[in-house]
Structure 1
């Protein structure tokens, strides 16, 4: 992604970086929420703008837009995952991405293997990984996952990034082919997929039916044993760890949130895999606190 951004004259960060440079925390690259450093997450503090003009064929003809310059929206779809992250049956997969992608490809009459280029929304690495899993796409696909360099490197004004990826894709497709542009909203909650093409066709239709999996019940306060389902460590702006944040499975199938406050346990959370770890929760005011 940094190589793509370096070749993009509109990118906000145009330095080629190695994976080790991006992942290693240090001065100028603090942890934001472990395991993500500043250089691996979206940069929104940018001075950028993009625009997309979408018209019908009749108006394009009247305006004299050359046919070889026209890019067509062949198919698109929208779906949602359960809003509360901890209430999602699976914390590591997205049924909504799969649903939106399948509907977009079906409407476009174009499959994943037929795509010339892709831009998968890239606010965090997990957004890319989940999208690849949902679509059956190899993260190391030789076509790459971005045409701009992605949110951490090309930059983008929040969800307005999709205007940049769409505009960049349009320029690429004037040489022919099909392209996929995806978007994400909230905490990996809202998902869009759009197939663009140098040739007309497909069926636009309406938005795909909203996909909401049956949510898992969340318990506010809980005392007793639990199992870690997912976690992170929040860091202060000076890079120091502040607290661990857990989502845990309870013995009865429900879930709860918990903080980790002890420094030695926070350090262990950043050095060992906690998912699947047995912990014990005890309420402290309005917050559950976990130890093991």
Structure 2
């Protein structure tokens, strides 16, 4: 594992309790605010331990809350602790990112093991379904008055000006760049790529259907997911609705971390304990145009392989949770790990079918993995989370049996930066021949191609972006009969300041 020195069983970091809540709303109902959902999840986690709740509250020395996006709080973690009756605890809200739950879990394990903290709650949640319901009812939720919290990143912090100019500024805009590029790189036809997306989704939907905390508690077939229909419209090529994460949920989760010694002293039963191994993190360049390509996430591959290595594993654990906001993420992660096409890639149900509480999906995955390990479905499990735009990556392993080595939370960033591939220069105005590297294409509500943003390479291997105003080129991008990635075209500068690309 992470160190040559062993530690005693008493020092080993364990999860002693997990709790979740999924609040489904009746028509005309506005549900609870995020803080209230998070508090309920924490209370459920305390109850799950079987220990005295007052003794637990007295022992908790840190409350970490995963970044919450839907409502503005000045100090969400502090408010959560206050409503739980926890005093004198370190209270902290994480940065943005779907990788944060596993990162904070691993840090909590490291902190209790070193004695820096005695007991830690890691929790998170969202009430976006309530906000949507309130909007439909044209009512303001009667929640904690919104307060100015810490500044959130702006789009300009994430994106190159050229990306913003062409409308590449949201996850739904960026992830297709990868899905379209990897289809061509792997030699898949459009139909084959869509079937793989459908198969992965169907596998996750089956898991979600058996998970009492999932938002959509029913199975979906691969064909239902991959085939456009009245209930499954095309959104952004190549995605249908059922291929995309669903953030409109009311969900929260929590887990409690301490040492084996403290757990036993509090009366937590041995069969409740799940041991925490080491974790690994790293990131791609935040600016999507500063990436060497879109056929691999270098940080993802390195993080997953190093996680197995640092945990002393020659094979992938029996249980896995691969982040699944869009199909390209589990597709890339499955290949990085060498998992088969039939491998079960989630213990939770996926961000489409279980639900995507924005940054906190992996908080629910932690809970699901704990339940799976406790139930004997596997001796250990790998949790992998992805944040932002295929940007941030973190993974950790959980165990049924004690882990004799100290927990480490490694950051691979220095190595990743030192060994990153060549990044093309980005041109603003460009006229001349170029080759299509990848693209995003948006559909109208009636399923017709509406507009596209292309990333192209010039003969000098520089990069430029372009729009499309030619119906034949738009049709070629979606036809599926012939792969367009790698096709030649001609770019010209328009009067509106955009480049336009025409296939030849």
Give the structure 1 partner of residue 212 of structure 2.
9
Give how far 1:31 is off: 1.5
Secondary structure of 1:26's partner? coil
Give the structure 1 partner of residue 464 of structure 2.
256
Give the structure 2 partner of residue 48 of structure 1.
251
Report Cα offsets for 1:98-156 as digits up to 9, x if no partner: 2111221122222434x121110001110011111222222322xx0001111111112
User: How many Å separate the matches in 2 of 1:278 and 1:256?
Assistant: 14
Match of 2:484 among 263, 274, 285: 274
Higher percent of residues as helix: 2
Give how far 1:161 is off: 0.3
Match of 2:360 among 156, 160, 174: 160
Secondary structure of 1:112's partner? coil
User: How many Å separate the matches in 2 of 1:139 and 1:163?
Assistant: 26
Asked if structure 1 preserves the Cα contact closer than 8 Å seen for 2:278 and 2:409, the reply is: no
Give how far 1:60 is off: 1.3
- Report the count of equivalent residues: 289
Give how far 1:26 is off: 2.6
1:129 aligns with 2:340: no
1:142-221 equivalences in 2 (<5 Å): 144-174=344-374, 175=376, 177-201=379-403, 202-210=405-413, 211-212=416-417, 213-214=420-421, 215-221=423-429
Give how far 1:237 is off: 4.4
User: How many Å separate the matches in 2 of 1:261 and 1:198?
Assistant: 57
Report Cα offsets for 1:159-201 as digits up to 9, x if no partner: 2100011110011111250101110111101111111111222
1:21 aligns with 2:229: no
Give how far 1:90 is off: 2.8
Match of 2:295 among 68, 88, 92: 92
User: How many Å separate the matches in 2 of 1:82 and 1:279?
Assistant: 28
User: How many Å separate the matches in 1 of 2:298 and 2:353?
Assistant: 28
Secondary structure of 2:349's partner? coil
1:57-136 equivalences in 2 (<5 Å): 57-113=260-316, 115-136=317-338
Report Cα offsets for 1:215-274 as digits up to 9, x if no partner: 332222211111111112112345442212211112112211111122232122101321
Secondary structure of 1:60's partner? helix
User: How many Å separate the matches in 2 of 1:166 and 1:238?
Assistant: 39
1:288 aligns with 2:496: no
Give me the CA root mean square deviation: 1.7
Secondary structure of 1:86's partner? helix
Q: Based on CA coordinates, which of the two structures has the bigger radius of gyration? A: 2
User: How many Å separate the matches in 1 of 2:461 and 2:402?
Assistant: 49
Report Cα offsets for 1:6-42 as digits up to 9, x if no partner: 1111111122222221112232212221110111110
Q: What is the TM-score with the length of structure 1 in the denominator? A: 0.93
Q: Which deviates further from its counterpart, 146-155 or 56-65?
A: 56-65
Give how far 1:204 is off: 2.4
User: How many Å separate the matches in 2 of 1:200 and 1:255?
Assistant: 51
